[in-house]
Structure 1
Amino acid sequence: MKILHRISAVLLILSLVALPMLVSGCRATSAQPLKVVTTTSLLGSIAERVGGEHVSVTVVVPPASCPGHFDAKPGDIQALAEAALFLKHGWEGFADGLIEAAENPDLEVVTVQVEGNWMAPPVQAQAVDEVLAVLSEADPDHKADYESNAETYKAVIEETGQRLKAELSAANVDQVPVLCAQYQAGFVKWAGFNVVATYGRLEELTPQQIGELVDQAREAGVVLVIDNLQSGPETGVGMAQEIGAAHVTLSNFPGGFEGTETWEKAIEKNVDLLLEALGK
């Protein structure tokens, strides 16, 4: 009987120790990061900065590619099938098909809509607030960490923006008339350049439209043509040659150029390219 009593006591102790573990097993543990998939590196880089150690981020579209002309791969479908959260901008044509193919009933899909060019510091900061809100709602246990990370990152954005804007102002870019790809217009205007006209993708331009752009650029004294890496880095080359202007290609996404995996490295690269094109 004493042996039975001892066995019963041991089993009781073990059950009391195991109960909290079983209960906690019903919730997401703090050691397991939230699996987040994003369509672009713009969203992905912010999710990584705000989420920190509490998230695992997968970016679908390679940063040098055009998100508007992207076909999902089997690996992308698998990533979404295993994810808890999917962040998209809302204009990605492949997103709905990817969600359907993933067959993940537990997947939370959030469209993060922020107007403007996300490479511009004020827009980047606004996007940080939007992603912060999404992560805090999806994982409220780590909301305080997300808020702290977001504030730290926004301070980096402000400092970087002020420093680069000072460099651009010192180069008198406000006196530089430019022709630029429409997807770069928001950033180029933030930089302070005089945007004379914008243009779309090469396949969208007719010979007549190109001729009109060249005439307009010549009349305004355009000295620089700015292309967008993701929508066509060679679109403005011919126009630049006809105008007699310099040509440069910028990136709208972190990681578009080698060594630019973060937003601050990407914007610094863009500014360096602009100043180099002007001979500064």
Structure 2
Amino acid sequence: MNARANKTGSLWGLLCVMLVLVLAGCSGNGSAQGVSEDGKLLVTATTGMIGDAAREIGGEHVEVTTLMGPGVDPHLFKASQGDIRKLDRAAVVFYGGLHLEGNMERVLVKMAAQKTVVAVTDDMPRDRLIGSEETGEFDPHVWFNVDLWTIAAETVRDTLIEKDPANAEAYRKQGERYLNELKELDAYVRERMLEIPAEGRVLVTAHDAFGYFGKAYEVEVVGLQGISTAAEFGARDVSALRDYLVERNIKAVFVESSLPARSMQAIVAGAAQQGHDVTIGGELFSDAMGEPGTDEGTYIGMIRHNTDTIAEALK
């Protein structure tokens, strides 16, 4: 580790301490009691996918705030003063875990000593995750396996019931409805992927966020970058992926809403120079959902959009 990395780590360690002290110092104000003026349980979620699950299951009994909106890359997210206030006033904080939120996870873990802070991946069997239990490093993009994401929804439901037992029956009913919708979604994704011939079922994207999708729905996945966008790619990576497209005769690649499209456009141009035509098959939502109020602004709508985009481009 170089001096710059050491300095960055020290700064983050200091920031963690400062944020916890700020939260502790604010704990006496009314908003920190975790209930809105109209009596709703205040919930803060790091990502849109988690926030959507909390809204679906919590319904009228919760007020959900999401830290990371459309187009935000959670791997590189840095909490602002406004985000600290959102965390402070919440009765419950949900986050992804598995290092999805990068250095911010240190803050969230420290906060757990003062309020209900839950990683929605905590209850997922480690043998269903992509990664290594020996190193403790796992791919955090679990929401792309819809069946696995039902466990996250169950964690949200159970946490709300425990925190707000007065509305437990409502959380159970809304949780059951949402879990049934997820089961239907899982079947829909599976059926649509089977429309693509097996040899053409190759998903090429800007970073390796779709590993769970590929494993669950029998799709070969190739990313220009690794699991985290914090790891930079170089000219060699671009050349290797360009050559892969040519050798495999792949006709379409995909850009992501939370990442610049220029890297994939460069690869398409490079393949064209070698006489191989590749198109941009469409934009996928990977680390963030779409705009609020749109279908893609919900978890189910986002997954359906991705599924339909991939199926239409590759089949």
Normalised TM-score (structure 1): 0.76
User: Counterpart of 1:134 in 2: which secondary structure?
Assistant: helix
Q: CA RMSD in A?
A: 2.9
How far 1:36 sits from its partner (Å)? 0.7
Matched, 1:69 2:76: yes
* Partner in structure 1 of residue 88 of structure 2: 81
Corresponding position: 1:219 with 2:247: yes
Counterpart position of 1:242: 270
Would the aligned equivalents of 2:268 and 2:279 in 1 still touch at CA under 8 Å?
A: yes
User: Is 1:255–2:281 an aligned residue pair?
Assistant: no
Per-residue deviation at 1:98? 7.5
1:36 to 43, 46, 61: 43
CA distance in 2, matches of 1:268, 1:174: 22
2: distance between equivalents of 1:257 and 1:76?
A: 19
Please tell me whether the aligned partners of residues 46 and 131 of structure 1 are also in contact (alpha carbons under 8 angstroms): yes
Q: Residues 156-183 of structure 1, C-alpha deviation per residue, up to 9 Å, x if partnerless?
A: 1111222343233224366333423301
The SS at the match of 1:227 is strand
1:187 maps to 213
Identity %: 23
1:128-151 alpha-carbon deviations (Å, 9 max, x no partner): 112122222222232222222111
Partner of 2:117: 109
Q: Quick check: which has more Rg, 1 or 2? A: 1
CA–CA distance in 2 between the matches of 1:153 and 1:269?
18
TM-score (ref. length: structure 2): 0.68
Alignment counterpart, residue 172 of structure 1, candidates 189, 197, 202 = 197
Q: Does the Cα contact within 8 Å between 1:72 and 1:98 map onto a contact in 2?
A: no
> After the TM superposition, which of the residue ranges 47-56 and 168-177 deviates more from structure 2?
168-177
Deviates more, 1:228-237 or 1:52-61: 228-237
Aligned runs of 1:150-165 on 2, under 5 Å? 150-165=175-190
Check the 8 A contact 1:37/1:85 in 2, yes or no: yes
Cα 1:105–1:210 shift into 2, 3 Å: closer
**Deviation for aligned residue 1:275:** 3.2
**Gap change, CA 1:147 and 1:32, over 3 Å in 2:** same
Report the AA paired with residue 175 of structure 2.
A
Aligned pair in 2 of structure 1 residues 151, 71: CA closer, same or farther (>3 Å)? same
Distance (whole Å) between structure 2 residues aligned to residue 191 and residue 104 of structure 1:
35
* Partner residue in 2 for 1:270: 306
Match of 1:230 among 258, 262, 265: 258
1:126 aligned partner: 151
> In the aligned structure 2, how far is the partner of 1:224 from the partner of 1:272?
14
In the other structure, the counterpart of 2:104 is 94
Cα shift readout 1:209-255 (whole Å, capped 9, x = no counterpart): 22122223322222222333224444322213323222233102563
Q: Which amino acid aligns with 1:187?
A: F
CA distance 1:39–1:202, shift in 2 (3 Å): closer
Unpaired stretches in structure 2, ≥5 consecutive residues = 1-34, 130-140, 272-276
* Structure 1 segments unaligned to the other structure (5+ residues): 1-27
SS of aligned partner of 1:255: coil
8 Å contact kept, 1:80–1:104: no
Letter of the aligned partner of 2:50 in structure 1? Answer: L
Name the aligned partner's letter for residue 271 of structure 1: T
Deviates more, 1:153-162 or 1:232-241: 232-241
Greater mean deviation of Cα atoms: 176-185 or 205-214: 176-185
Q: Check 1:137–1:170 CA distance in 2 against 1; reply closer, same or farther (3 A cut).
A: same
**Match of 2:117, SS?**
strand
Q: Residue 272 of structure 1: CA displacement? A: 2.5
Spell out, residue by residue over 1:23-43, the C-alpha distance to the aligned partner (whole angstroms, 9 max, x if none).
xxxxx89x7221111111111
Instruction: Give the deviation of 1:45 after TM superposition.
Output: 0.5
Contact 2:203 2:220 in 1 (8 A): yes
Q: 1:173 to 1:34 in 2, by over 3 A?
A: farther
